[in-house]
């Protein structure tokens, strides 16, 4: 299967991307397993479903009941089979199964931590920065991630964008010549059919001041079988088009994910990764460095590391800012600059993304700036006279 795509990669690269296990679905025919609709239809939604794949901890068991009205469980078989059967601390499982800690209210929690709803000139478009917008087109995703920033809308059918709302969003963008970059988002736009997505993208592409289209999708991670040859070809009609995705852990870098990313890259679509820093998942430098190396081999550029947002129910997944700085410190200089994303805090209350760096400037005086490098040695840069 997929020989055409993988055969030009050397064995030692491919060997780092093992085919995903199929868990309890070992006997499912390939034609079903490789069909993304099959996975969406069979998403795990409850205790019974989870018990097919993992031995639930008491905490997960109680949380499944207790979080019922807060945030849906939704795990496609492909992603579910990556979970460790016996370890509730498995980094895949932490992103997919509910925990009692989600119910512990914290004083800083917010339903809409980034004030995305406030900065909406029309329903479904967040316009915060001068020249680009977020355009939400669906509330559905292949998987409902427990750490999702948009829990307020994801999985909630009442927040689905209807045709009028989509029309109003396009109208807003079309009448604002400053908008040159559109991030098509949700939810996950790749849950739409190829046809529906193609119609939307062609309407956006037809707007003369729009230069860049981006599609934000986690399907290369949670359901890479969604990235068919056909959909990659369809997207490539709308160049320049970028895809941003959301890998959080090396375990997600399967052969299937590899193939999905090659399909996009082969069609000239640059792929960026937006990792969320999550306790127990990727809060150590070695894990992040390994992830970023795997991403580069998949031709995915690490773009952002996000400090975990203040959304409801993710207290147990947050880390300190020191942890993020430690990770950045152990990347710069120690590995390829290509493997180094920006570490950002999306400022609570809608301040936007703010980059955070370890401090490499030791002192600044008139005429000279003193800096330290990744190994800690001190260097002076004399500045030109003005
Ligand atoms: C993240 C974001 C964007 C895109 O930001 P880039 O830094 O250009 O990737 C646009 N609008 C909003 C509201 C965002 O949160
Ligand atoms: S795919 Fe993205 S939008 Fe959907 S649940 Fe996961 S983090 Fe949220």
Distance 330 CA to ligand 1 centre (A): 26
CB 297 within 8 A of CB 268: no
Q: CATH fold of 125-355, please?
A: TIM Barrel (3.20.20)
CB 166 within 8 A of CB 122: no
Whether 126 is in the pocket of ligand 1, judged by its Cβ within 6 Å, is yes
pLDDT (tens, 9 = 90+) of the chain, 386 residues, equals: 455 788 899 999 999 999 999 999 999 999 999 999 999 999 999 999 999 999 999 999 999 999 998 899 999 999 999 999 999 999 999 999 999 999 987 888 888 999 988 999 999 999 999 999 999 999 999 999 999 998 888 887 777 789 999 999 999 999 999 999 999 999 999 999 999 999 999 999 999 999 999 999 999 999 999 999 999 999 999 999 999 999 999 999 999 999 999 999 999 999 999 999 999 999 999 999 999 999 999 999 999 999 999 988 888 999 999 999 999 999 999 999 999 999 999 999 899 999 999 999 999 999 999 999 999 999 999 999 87
Long-range contacts formed by 27-30: CB under 8 A, 24+ apart: 30/1
Distance 139 CA to ligand 2 centre (A): 9
Distance 241 CA to ligand 1 centre (A): 15
pLDDT value at residue 304 = 98
For the chain, the structural domain boundaries read: 2-103, 125-355, 361-386
308 has catalytic annotation: no
pLDDT value at residue 179 = 98
DSSP label at residue 374: T
Distance 289 CA to ligand 2 centre (A): 23
Q: What span, in angstroms and rounded, lies between the C-alpha atoms of 16 and 120? A: 43
Question: Whose Cα sits closest to atom 2 in ligand 1?
Answer: 134
Whether 150 is in the pocket of ligand 2, judged by its Cβ within 6 Å, is yes
Helix (H) or strand (E) holding 382: strand 378-382
Catalytic residue among 43, 78, 141, 253: 141
Whether 187 is in the pocket of ligand 2, judged by its Cβ within 6 Å, is yes
141 has catalytic annotation: yes
Whether 342 is in the pocket of ligand 1, judged by its Cβ within 6 Å, is no
310 CB-contact burial (10 Å; exposed 0-12 / middle 13-18 / buried 19+): buried
Question: What pTM does this model have?
Answer: 0.96
Q: Which token pair is 173?
A: 């963008």
Closest-lying ligand 2 atom to the alpha carbon of residue 155: 5
Distance 60 CA to ligand 1 centre (A): 34
Q: What span, in angstroms and rounded, lies between the C-alpha atoms of 142 and 118? A: 27
Closest-lying ligand 2 atom to the alpha carbon of residue 276: 7
Closest-lying ligand 2 atom to the alpha carbon of residue 217: 1
């Amino acid at each position: 299967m997929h020989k055409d795509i993988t055969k030009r990669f050397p064995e030692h690269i491919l060997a780092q991307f093992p085919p995903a296990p199929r868990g309890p679905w070992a006997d499912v025919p390939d034609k079903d397993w490789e069909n993304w609709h099959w996975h969406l239809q069979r998403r795990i939604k409850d205790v019974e479903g989870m018990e097919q794949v993992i031995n639930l901890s008491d905490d997960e068991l109680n949380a499944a009941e207790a979080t019922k009205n807060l945030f849906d469980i939704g795990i496609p078989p492909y992603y579910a089979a990556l979970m460790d059967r016996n370890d509730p601390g498995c980094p895949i499982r932490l992103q997919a199964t509910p925990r009692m800690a989600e119910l512990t209210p914290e004083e800083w929690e917010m339903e809409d931590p980034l004030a995305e709803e406030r900065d909406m000139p029309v329903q479904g478009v967040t316009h915060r920065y001068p020249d680009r917008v977020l355009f939400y087109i669906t509330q559905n995703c292949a998987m409902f991630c427990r750490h999702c920033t948009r829990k307020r809308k994801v999985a909630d059918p009442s927040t689905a964008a209807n045709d009028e709302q989509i029309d109003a969003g396009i109208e807003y963008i079309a009448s604002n010549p400053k908008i040159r970059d559109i991030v098509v988002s949700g939810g996950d736009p790749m849950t739409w059919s190829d046809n529906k997505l193609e119609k939307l993208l062609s309407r956006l592409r037809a707007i003369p001041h729009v230069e860049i289209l981006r599609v934000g999708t986690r399907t290369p991670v949670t359901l890479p079988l969604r990235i068919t040859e056909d959909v990659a070809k369809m997207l490539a009609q709308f160049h320049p088009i970028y895809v941003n995705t959301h890998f959080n852990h090396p375990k997600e870098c399967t052969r299937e994910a590899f193939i999905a990313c090659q399909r996009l890259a082969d069609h000239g679509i640059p792929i960026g990764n937006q990792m969320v820093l999550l306790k127990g998942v990727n809060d150590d430098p070695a894990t992040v460095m390994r992830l970023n190396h795997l991403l580069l081999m998949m031709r995915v550029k690490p773009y952002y590391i996000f400090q975990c947002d203040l959304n409801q129910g993710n207290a147990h997944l947050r880390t300190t800012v020191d942890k993020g700085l430690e990770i950045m410190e152990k990347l710069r200089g120690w590995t390829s600059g290509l493997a180094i994303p920006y570490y950002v805090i999306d400022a609570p209350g809608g301040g936007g993304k703010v980059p955070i760096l370890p401090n490499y400037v030791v002192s600044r005086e008139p005429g000279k700036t003193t800096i330290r490098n990744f190994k800690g040695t001190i260097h002076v840069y004399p500045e030109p006279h003005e």
